[in-house]
């Protein structure tokens, strides 16, 4: 069994027939397979590997077919959903376009309606303004007290029509309650009708208006708004208020308030009519034949006043006056000084003040305390302003630099001494003087200025003469750069080489000293000393100081070679050529200089490699500080 499985696996991997290995081997395997199959019962025999492979192949094929069908179904669903979404998007776009068109049409219609409404409102306002102007012009040329001439004004007639409109239902009751003589303007049973009521009744009869009974004042107030009441003219307001007063008086009479029984000249009670009181106090004006009374105008004017404003003014006038600005002053200010106005001795003045205080009483004491308080406040304000002014002037004076000083001790003059006009020093008794006077230095200063101007003029003339002489002798500009030795030759490397190298050597020594000091300080602070490998040391080219030292050594070596005579011949040739006027180029061309530079770099790198190799054999480790 095991050999059969191995042969089958080898055939699958190798692509060969398992029976091709040999007839003997295959016969043996078949025999073993038959024996093994005979040993196993038929019911317990398992499927062979070929059958298992075929079953797996069929399963994979069915699975692949089902997967393909599922993928096709998914693709169809995706295509269907995409087409549905496209259709829905097109419908939404159409709805949006229709909504936009509708909004545009509505906006246009709204703007048109708004424009029409504004135009109508503007026309109404213009008509109202024109009517108001016409009414004002008519009122300007006719008196307010003439009721007969105002009847022709249509605005007043319309206002009166609105104001005197009454309820028809209460007309019979009001007429039955009122006596017949009272309708004609006479007094019956102690009742007195308002004169303005008679005038209104005459107007109604003249213009054919029906007389209506009196209603409550609240009903009349509700008919006109605050804005409409403000638009009425002065005469219309008075008529309106008189009508309200008449309504209140008639209602009080119907209730039997008892105000009609008051005697002439007596003050009315709280609920009585103002016009009724005026009629009682002016009985000579009341009558059936009197169409207008002088007291009615005063009563109408009183009714037209603002009651709240009058109440505030009355309270303000009756309130107690404040005598002091602070509560502390009101508690503690009890001293009342007496001032002597002059004339006579002090005793007579005190007696006169006592007599005046006794005669004046408490009112004069309060006025005097107010005056004293104002005087104290003014004195305190003056003292504060004076102190501020003095401080500002003193600061400005102390900032000056031309203050006078004492010639003996050098003490400057203070601001108090300047304001009090004290001109002598309190310590020395010497008069203060200015530190430097112009009269003392004027002559010397002018002489110095004159000498300076003359020296500048002479120097200018001398420079002009030198320039003229130089331009006449040679066109070449004079060489102002002097050599190190003081000669007229140009500065060359041969002349300044030693000094330059000495300065560089000194700077290098200073750098080494400072670097060593810094390293010592760092080693004291840091206990850890890392070890660098030899390979990293070979790659390191050294610090700037080391490179500078090597450069100096190479320069010194070249200088020694020059002194030995290797380059002396070239220098002599250059000097001869310069003397003849045909000096060669100081340096070669670019290629020659580049070649020389490369050779020098190779030599320097070889020297560094040799040094690093020699140091590689001796692996030196830096000293490490040990901490306890």
Tens digit of pLDDT for each residue in 145-187? 444 444 445 555 555 555 555 444 444 554 545 444 444 444 4
Most confident of 49-53, 188-192, 440-444: 440-444
Mean pLDDT of the chain: 70
More confident: 216 or 125: 125
Longest dimension (CA), the chain: 175
Residue 565 has pLDDT above 80, yes or no: no
More confident: 566 or 194: 566
Q: Tally the C-alpha atoms within 13 A of residue 613's C-alpha that lie toward its C-beta.
A: 6
CA 384 to CA 380: how far, in whole Å?
6
> What are the residues whose beta carbons fall under 8 Å from the beta carbon of 583, sequence distance 6 or more?
574, 577
Residue 607 has pLDDT above 70, yes or no: yes
CA 93 to CA 96: how far, in whole Å?
5
Contact 239, 220 (CB under 8 A): no
Tokens at residue 277, please? 């009181």
Tokens at residue 603, please? 């030599």
Q: If you average pLDDT over residues 111-135, what whole number do you get?
A: 83
**Per-residue confidence (pLDDT) for residue 2, from 0 to 100:** 53
Q: If you average pLDDT over residues 521-549, what whole number do you get?
A: 72
Residue 190 has pLDDT above 60, yes or no: no
Residue 285 has pLDDT above 70, yes or no: no
- ∠ CA(88), CA(91), CA(97), 5° rounding? 140
* Per-residue pLDDT tens over the stretch 322-363: 677 788 888 888 777 676 655 455 555 555 555 554 445 556
**Number of helices followed by number of strands (H, E) in the chain:** 23, 0
Tokens at residue 50, please? 């070929």
**Per-residue confidence (pLDDT) for residue 222, from 0 to 100:** 54
Q: If you average pLDDT over residues 521-531, what whole number do you get?
A: 73
Tokens at residue 56, please? 């797996």
Q: If you average pLDDT over residues 368-372, what whole number do you get?
A: 87
Portion of the chain with pLDDT greater than 70, in percent = 51
* Per-residue pLDDT tens over the stretch 25-70: 555 566 565 555 545 444 445 567 888 888 888 888 888 888 888 8
Q: If you average pLDDT over residues 482-491, what whole number do you get?
A: 53
CA 518 to CA 125: how far, in whole Å?
97
């Amino acid at each position: 069994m095991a050999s059969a499985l191995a042969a089958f696996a080898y055939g699958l991997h190798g692509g060969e027939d398992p029976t091709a290995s040999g007839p003997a081997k295959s016969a043996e395997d078949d025999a073993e397979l038959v024996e093994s199959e005979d040993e196993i019962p038929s019911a317990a025999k398992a499927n062979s590997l070929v059958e298992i492979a075929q079953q797996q192949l069929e399963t994979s094929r069915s699975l692949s077919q089902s997967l393909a069908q599922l993928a096709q179904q998914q693709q169809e669903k995706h295509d269907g959903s995409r087409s549905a979404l496209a259709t829905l998007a097109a419908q939404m776009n159409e709805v949006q376009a229709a909504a936009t068109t509708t909004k545009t049409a509505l906006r246009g219609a709204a703007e048109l309606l708004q424009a029409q409404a504004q135009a109508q409102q503007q026309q109404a306002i213009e008509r109202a303004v024109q009517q108001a102007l016409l009414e004002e012009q008519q009122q300007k040329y006719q008196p307010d007290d003439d009721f007969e001439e105002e009847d022709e004004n249509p605005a007043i007639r319309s206002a009166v029509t609105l104001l005197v409109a009454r309820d028809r239902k209460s007309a019979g009751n009001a007429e039955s309650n009122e006596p017949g003589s009272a309708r004609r303007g006479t007094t019956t049973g102690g009742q007195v009708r308002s004169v303005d009521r008679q005038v209104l009744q005459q107007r109604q009869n003249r213009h054919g208006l029906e007389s209506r009974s009196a209603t409550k004042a609240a009903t009349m107030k509700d008919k006109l708004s605050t804005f409409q009441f403000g638009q009425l003219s002065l005469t219309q307001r008075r008529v309106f208020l008189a009508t309200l007063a008449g309504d209140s008086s008639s209602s009080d009479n119907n209730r039997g308030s008892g105000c009609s029984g008051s005697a002439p000249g007596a003050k009315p009670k709280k609920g009585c009519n103002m016009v009724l009181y005026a009629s009682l106090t002016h009985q000579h004006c009341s009558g059936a034949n009197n169409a207008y009374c002088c007291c009615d105008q005063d009563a109408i004017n009183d009714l037209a006043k603002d009651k709240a404003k009058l109440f505030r003014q009355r309270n303000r006038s009756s309130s107690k006056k404040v005598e002091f600005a602070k509560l502390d002053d009101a508690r503690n200010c009890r001293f009342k000084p007496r001032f002597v106005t002059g004339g006579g001795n002090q005793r007579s003045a005190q007696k006169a003040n006592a007599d005046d205080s006794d005669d004046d009483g408490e009112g004069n004491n309060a006025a005097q305390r107010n005056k004293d308080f104002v005087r104290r406040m003014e004195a305190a304000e003056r003292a504060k302003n004076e102190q501020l002014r003095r401080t500002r002037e003193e600061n400005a004076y102390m900032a000056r630099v031309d203050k006078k000083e004492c010639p003996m001790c050098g003490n400057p003059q203070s601001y108090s001494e300047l304001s009090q006009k004290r001109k002598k020093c309190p310590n020395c008794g010497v008069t203060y003087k200015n530190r430097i006077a112009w009269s003392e230095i004027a002559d010397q200063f002018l002489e110095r200025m004159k000498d300076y101007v003359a020296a500048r003029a002479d120097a200018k003339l001398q420079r002009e003469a030198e320039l003229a002489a130089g331009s006449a002798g040679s066109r070449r500009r004079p060489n102002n750069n002097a050599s190190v030795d003081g000669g007229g030759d140009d500065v060359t490397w041969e002349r300044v080489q030693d000094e330059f190298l000495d300065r560089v050597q000194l700077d290098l020594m200073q750098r080494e000293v400072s670097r060593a000091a810094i390293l010592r300080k760092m080693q004291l602070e840091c206990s850890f000393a890392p070890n660098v490998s030899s390979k990293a040391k070979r790659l390191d080219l050294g610090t700037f100081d080391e490179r500078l030292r090597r450069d100096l050594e190479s320069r010194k070596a070249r200088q020694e070679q020059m002194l030995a005579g290797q380059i002396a011949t070239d220098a002599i040739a250059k000097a001869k050529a310069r003397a003849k006027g045909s000096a060669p180029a100081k340096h070669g061309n670019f290629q020659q200089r580049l070649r020389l530079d490369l050779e020098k770099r190779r030599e320097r790198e070889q020297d560094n490699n040799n040094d690093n190799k020699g140091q590689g054999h001796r692996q030196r480790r830096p000293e490490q500080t040990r901490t306890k």
